[in-house]
Amino acid sequence: MKQYTRRLPLAKKEEAERLVKEMVDNGIIEESSGPWASPIVLVKKKDMSTRFSVDYRMLNEITIKDSYPLPRIDDILDALNGSQ
């Protein structure tokens, strides 16, 4: 599933490129040529810095949901009681 990118104003495009370069340099993200791609979203925070996020709504729609609930933490802790 590959979604097309959304158009960004020039100032936001430069900010996005700066943020991507920063994340690549810090080893947070890496270049990919796979079949999956989702558009980015830049949001101004209250302190006027920029939050970089990815719009995964379409991916979430096609994701197969787990049909079983996660175990409760108190049940897990009870099961581990006395183990080393």
Q: Average pLDDT of 58-78? A: 89
Give this prediction's pTM.
0.66
The two structure tokens encoding residue 24: 């690549």
- Which pLDDT value is given to residue 84? 64
Question: Which percentage of the chain shows pLDDT scores above 90?
Answer: 58
Distance CA 42, CA 22 (A): 15
Q: H or E segment at 41?
A: strand 40-44
**Domain boundaries in the chain?**
10-80
With beta carbons less than 8 A apart as the criterion, state whether 38 and 59 touch.
Answer: yes
Q: Could you read off the pLDDT of 1-59 as tens digits, one per residue?
A: 788 888 889 989 999 999 999 999 999 999 988 888 899 999 999 999 999 999 999 99
Phi, psi angles (nearest 5°) of residue 55:
-90, 100
Which class is 10-80 in CATH? Answer: alpha beta
